[in-house]
Amino acid sequence: MTAMHPSPSPSVGAPGRIVIVGHGIAGLTAGDTLRREGFSGELTVIGQEPHDPYSRPALSKAMLEDLSTPSPGAVTEIEAQYLAAPSEGATVHAGRSAVGLDPEAQTVLLDDGGVLAYDGLVITSGARARRFTDSPDEYTLRGLDDARALRQRLAGRPAVIVIGGGPLGMEVASAAREAGCEVTLVHRGQPMRRHVGDVLAGLCTSAARDRGLHLVDASVTRVHRDAPDGGLDIELSTGGTLRAEVIVSAIGDAPNDEWLADSGLLTDGRLLIDDWGIVAPGVVAAGDVAWRRSGPGIQRRALWTDAIEQAKVAAEALLHGRSASPASYAPYFWTEQFGLNLRICGEVPAEVTPTVVDGDLAESRAVLQWEDPTQGGAAAAVNFRIPIPKLRRLARPAPAAA
Amino acid sequence: MAATVVAHLELDRPRCEGHGLCEEAAPDLMHLDDEGELVLDATDISEQDLEAARTAVRVCPVAALKLA
């Protein structure tokens, strides 16, 4: 509302115009936080997708609904789980992408030729699914349009090859099996191991096999389209080749940072944030696009809870600098696959055997706790409803209990 | 003295998966019971509780909470 150099709060260098690039959970949280912290200047949000903001984690599950009913013709549209609208008084440009940034002039260039001037910039442009080809028979699952397209295709009960055995790949495989598709999943090593450790990965794998998933232990070296029948050939590290009608690639994501290529803000091609989400003076970032230091290396971890924590801290830092608290991560993620509902707090040490705190693993219903002196603890609930704050307490190393 | 109600908190129960991130955001307004079911301890939201309620709505990964 105030056009020229307003001073919304007494904080140092409080900017008058803030642009948020991205309206996923990180961008939305940043907007909320800016308003909560007293920012009353112009707030502009660029949303790449034409849709109102929705929950991404809910997509892989929503994809399932109705598909398991025996009426393939009657596929209803996926109902997105829409998130609360961006913060009050924000101007939202949906269906627009940022294509360039000039940090000297403090402007963001949009794909429609528009130029937005900012005093403060929040980069939450997210990531996109990695893929092998541009074939229409290769699907990914990242956005609402992806979910809708894949669901339509699965309704015809094609044979499906899923590439990648992380949570997303296993969720998609589970959905496709439930829909009645023949499903093969290609993954080098044991699926889910990196995310949930040996014991739970074993549980996931046997549940998947019980439900008819074919597992191929190999990595994929190349996928190519072979004329004339339109199928895709998947070349494996083991030397074999699989022929697929439909493939779903769940092989991770790539940050949407190309628009920053000439900005001078990337460090070795990566958008690196500090513990406050700061990239450069007046520029912060959060969520899937951002890398952060972790021990000796750098890390980009695409978790709902991390995106929220980073966005909150980054927005505070944009207004108040490093006087606010740095980010404090308490990783949490969940997955539903092959009849298993897993909730995990902390980082599971793959090779450590967990203690069964409640329930019984043999019945696939248990609460597990890992103690690892080097990494801190972790805890998991398997088909067990438990308040997450309680699970978090189990995930903390013992001396911290209070 | 009753605070002025500025909004109402609504739960779409079938949608709720019991993650409990809302409880962490607004422990005075809601909690998960021993079964992991969400219980709203307040649905009439005062100005004072509005930010906590908004944060709880935002953090829900399945958009089960609404402020109306």
Q: Where are the domains of chain B?
A: 5-67
Residue A218 contacts residue A236 (beta carbons within 8 Å):
yes
- On the question of pLDDT at A71 being above 60, the answer is no
Predicted pLDDT of residue A6: 40
| Closest partner CB to B35 (pick from A29, A83, A385) | A385
Can you state the percent helix, strand and coil of chain B, rounding each to 5?
30, 30, 40
Q: Which of B17, B31, B57 sits opposite A84 (nearest CB)?
A: B57
Query: In B, which residues are within 8 Å of A310 by CB distance?
Result: none
pLDDT at A333: 93
Nearest one of A201, A156, A239 to A338, comparing CA atoms? A201
* A383 has a chain B CB within 8 A of its CB: no
**Per-residue pLDDT at A60:** 78
What pLDDT is stored for residue B22 in this prediction?
94
Query: Are B18 and A332 an interchain contact pair (Cβ–Cβ within 8 Å)?
Result: no
Q: Which residues of B touch A (CB under 8 A)?
A: 15, 17-21, 23-24, 31-37, 51, 54-55, 57-59, 61-63, 66-67
A343 to chain B, any CB pair closer than 8 A? The answer is yes
Residue A81 near chain B (CB below 8 Å): yes
Q: Average pLDDT of A60-75?
A: 60
Taking CB atoms and an 8 Å cutoff, what residues of chain A touch B22? none
pLDDT given for residue A140 in this prediction: 96
HEC string of A126-140 equals: CEEECCCCCCCCEEC
Q: In terms of Cα–Cα distance, which of A1, A160, A154 is closest to A69? A: A154
Does residue A1 surpass a pLDDT of 70? no
CB–CB contact B63 A82 (8 Å): yes
The answer, yes or no, to whether residue A172 has pLDDT greater than 80, is yes
pLDDT digits (tens, 9 = 90+) for A174-194: 999 998 999 999 999 999 999
Domain B5-67 has CATH 3.40.50.10190: no
Q: What is the pLDDT of residue A230?
A: 72
Is the model's pLDDT at A398 over the cut of 80?
no
Span A333-391, pLDDT tens digits: 999 999 999 999 999 988 899 999 999 999 999 999 998 766 678 999 999 988 888 89
B47-59 and A25-36 helices, crossing angle to 10°: 170
**Residue A10's pLDDT band (cuts 50, 70, 90):** very low
Mean pLDDT comparison of A6-20, A196-210, B49-63, highest-scoring range:
A196-210
> Greater confidence, A1 or A301?
A301
A402 has pLDDT over 80: no
More confident residue, B33 or A188: A188
Phi, psi at A367, each rounded to 5°: -115, 125
Higher pLDDT, A226 or A348: A348
ipTM (interface predicted TM): 0.90
Query: Contact A32/B67, CB-based, under 8 Å?
Result: no
In this predicted structure, what is the pLDDT of residue A11?
A: 45
pLDDT of residue B1: 54
Q: What percent of chain A has pLDDT over 90?
A: 71
CA-wise closest residue to A250 among A164, A366, A344, A374: A164
**pTM of the complete model:** 0.91
Asked whether the beta carbons of residue A388 and residue B15 sit closer than 8 angstroms, the reply is no
Size of interface A-B (CB pairs under 8 A): 62
CA distance A89 to A42: 8
Q: Which residue did the predictor score with more confidence, B34 or A173? A: A173
- The angle at the Cα of A117, spanning A114 to A122, to the nearest 5 degrees, equals 105
Q: Cβ contact (<8 Å) for A389 and B18? A: no
Residues A275-323: tens digit of each pLDDT: 999 999 999 999 999 999 888 889 998 899 999 999 999 999 999 999 9
